[in-house]
Amino acid sequence: MSKKIVLLGEKDNFFLALKDRLERAGAIFTHDSDDADITVGLGQYATNDLVDVAIIAENDDPRSGNLDQIKNAGLIIRIHDLMIPEGSQGWGPIDVEDWVEWIRVESLDLTPEIKPK
């Protein structure tokens, strides 16, 4: 049986990727916390008193949430080294973002002996 989920968070690339993955897994989304089986809070929204699952990033970006401010979550997930194809927007470390961008624009030649076909 599918779970009804309230997903709280800034509608950034991580929010959209997580929502897409949960939908493909059969989750049903609702905006009514009283109707939901699980409330998931992302980043700053993880501090909401109704949150069952808090997802925060392990970095200094203020949008990513603060472990010390999470009150009632039964499960806390700390994200690090996240890479989303569209960009992690503060959810992943900047050095990983830079590395991927260098590869994307071909300014970093990691394997000079292998050329694209």
The model's pLDDT over 6-34, given as tens digits with 9 standing for 90+, comes to: 999 999 989 999 999 999 999 999 999 89
Helix (H, G, I), strand (E, B) or coil at 98: helix
Domain map (residue ranges) of the chain:
4-104
For 72-104, how does the pLDDT look when each residue is reduced to its tens digit (9 = 90+)? Answer: 899 999 888 777 777 777 777 777 777 777 777
Q: How far apart are CA 71 and CA 46, in angstroms?
A: 9
